[in-house]
Chains A and B, each alone.
Chain A
């Protein structure tokens, strides 16, 4: 089997798993999970520096080999997301940004309209915009049209662990956007969810809580690593057709009577 690389915006990754850095019980646990996951890109959040106490440098706990992908989590409109992206670029000297504009505090579902508005501005400013959005084909087309190098449809609400709620939407997106890079982002709970995303043709998957909140994060990260590889290999292999009725695997003729 030839090596199956994942290319995005001029960078090449051997892993199709992108993981987060939030919610871990300790930095040591996060490091162990990162290593076990095989991921080569991690997300980080931009946040106000506390003025009343010293803070440990969180970034020191990330492997220097990791591509750092800052996000605009916590932003509820395009203006705040744009400002956050600009701050992230200045601090980290990276043009990469995971664009996340939330529309509602309870569901954390994305505000697609504001996401598109922010994407337009950021792409013009030279950002490499990876947009998190609802699993909607038409919005995916619009985000690609304004210059996003990929689209990141959700599987389910952030941190819900519900798994892929609408596999048909992902399949339609894959079939209609044959050349687009699709990264499923948010809502994964278990490795079978990750495998399913890749089986459906997603190019990669981004997750945080499914690993960070697992009883053993390191083991779950390893399981996700296997699942993503298995799902991708299955997609490339081409699945058998589904049938309503049985199709015997052993010869019917020649069985003793």
Chain B
């Protein structure tokens, strides 16, 4: 299925939860946050929430800024 992660179109396997999604893209699991269709997903829910076709996902971390 096709999802949109950080503005990029990505093909992923069906029925992935958010932890599996982070692993799939070799992303860190600490000090990141995940938004699914413009709603923040609490870390404790990452395992139970499954990504669906056409979902819009934002995964953020921290960088230098003022």
Binding site for B on A (CB under 8 A): 20-24, 30, 43-51, 54-55, 57-59, 70-71, 73, 83-84, 86-88, 90-92, 158-159, 186, 206-209
Q: Which of B5, B38, B40, B64 has its CB near the most chain A CB atoms (within 10 A)?
A: B64
**From B5, B61, B66, contact of A55 by CB (8 A):** B61
Contacts of B26 in A (CB 8 A): 54
Q: Are A30 and B64 in contact (CB under 8 A)?
A: yes
Q: Are B42 and A51 in contact (CB under 8 A)?
A: no
Contacts of B6 in A (CB 8 A): 48-51
Task: Take A83-B35, A90-B33 as given contacts and tell me if A45 and B27 are in contact as well, using a CB distance cutoff of 8 Å.
Answer: no
Which size bracket describes the interface of B in this complex? 20 to 34
For chain A, what secondary structure do more than half of its interface residues adopt (helix, strand, loop), or is it mixed?
mixed
Complex: how many Å from CA A54 to CA B26? 8
The answer, yes or no, to whether B13 is at the interface (CB within 8 Å) is no
- Cβ-closest chain B residue relative to A53: B26
Closest-CB distance, B36 to chain A (whole angstroms) = 11
Task: Take A49-B27, A87-B35, A87-B40 as given contacts and tell me if A70 and B62 are in contact as well, using a CB distance cutoff of 8 Å.
Answer: yes
